[in-house]
Amino acid sequence: MQKNSIAAAFRIILIICLICSFIVSSATVMLYSRQQENQRLDKIKNILIAADLYDEDENIEAAFKEHIEPLIIALDTGERLPEDQFDDMLNIDHFDIQMLANDPVHGEDIAPQIDIAKLKRRPRYMLVYFVKTQGRTEKLILPVYGKGLWSTLYGYLALNRDLKTIDGITFYQHGETPGLGGEVDNPKWQQLWKGKLAFDDSGKVAIQVLRGLADPESDKARYQIDGLAGATLTSRGVDKLINYWLGENGYGPFLGRLREQWLMDRR
């Protein structure tokens, strides 16, 4: 009798576990498309924040369509990727940095000696964004990412049309410690980036995230960002990922081409 009771109890537990597993699996499948849509909208929101165009009372998709022009570029040459070379994975609508980086065709290894952002692999192409007002490009939004303390941080950096002055920064995905490294999300800290110079007069990447506070009286202050209190490794990670992506192994070829193009346009 007792053995039968134990067996019956195990059968009931097993049935309950199977039912719960089915419910959880079904919910995951049903919510997947909604999660993907929320992630897409969050990226749009962060692009608008970096571009200083976000208004919580405005339809973000309408604002994005009106002001933002996306463009896929080849990182090694800086050239625009023609639409006839798009495929199911490499296209504007479904551009996924992680998926492309891990793809054997669209991704590539990064040599350890230049991998200051600790990426290991990256896409061969990146999706960048031109911010336009009445048809004229006013800003450039560059996706950036790299290792922090606990996670890979994904964000956007905005450059003014002069391609030297930083107009904004935001991070849309990371797993850093709340209240410490997680302060990369703090609007007050992000505000410190606005107006800082990413490059010096020679064109070399000069922006730097410090371990402590920048000295406002220093000649270097225009290139310096206060570090995050109690988050030295996250601050260092942000410094490295920004320097990597703005450098010759990141967007350097693209920025060089763009400078030449815009210089010709002014003549």
Q: Quick one: pLDDT at residue 230?
A: 92
**Among the ranges given (5-19, 41-55, 124-138, 201-215), the one the predictor scored with the smallest mean pLDDT:** 5-19
What's the pLDDT tens digit per position in 202-238?
999 999 999 999 999 999 999 999 999 999 999 999 9
- Cβ atoms of 101 and 88 within 8 Å: the answer is no
Mean pLDDT of 3-32: 67
Average pLDDT over the chain reads 90
Query: Is 251's pLDDT higher than 90?
Result: yes
For 39-70, the pLDDT digits (tens) are 888 899 999 999 989 988 889 999 999 999 99
Share of the chain above pLDDT 70, in %: 90
Residue 174 has what pLDDT? 95
CA pair distance 7, 2, nearest whole angstrom: 9
> Minimal CA–CA distance to 92: which of 104, 84, 83?
83
> Six-digit token pair at 175?
């797993």
pLDDT of residue 71: 96
**pTM for this prediction:** 0.85
Query: Can you give the residue ranges of every domain in the chain?
Result: 48-266
Percent of the chain with pLDDT over 90: 76
Indicate the residue type of 141: I
d(CA 267, CA 262): 9
SS3 breakdown of the chain: % helix, strand, coil, rounded to 5? 40, 20, 35
7 token code pair: 């067996």
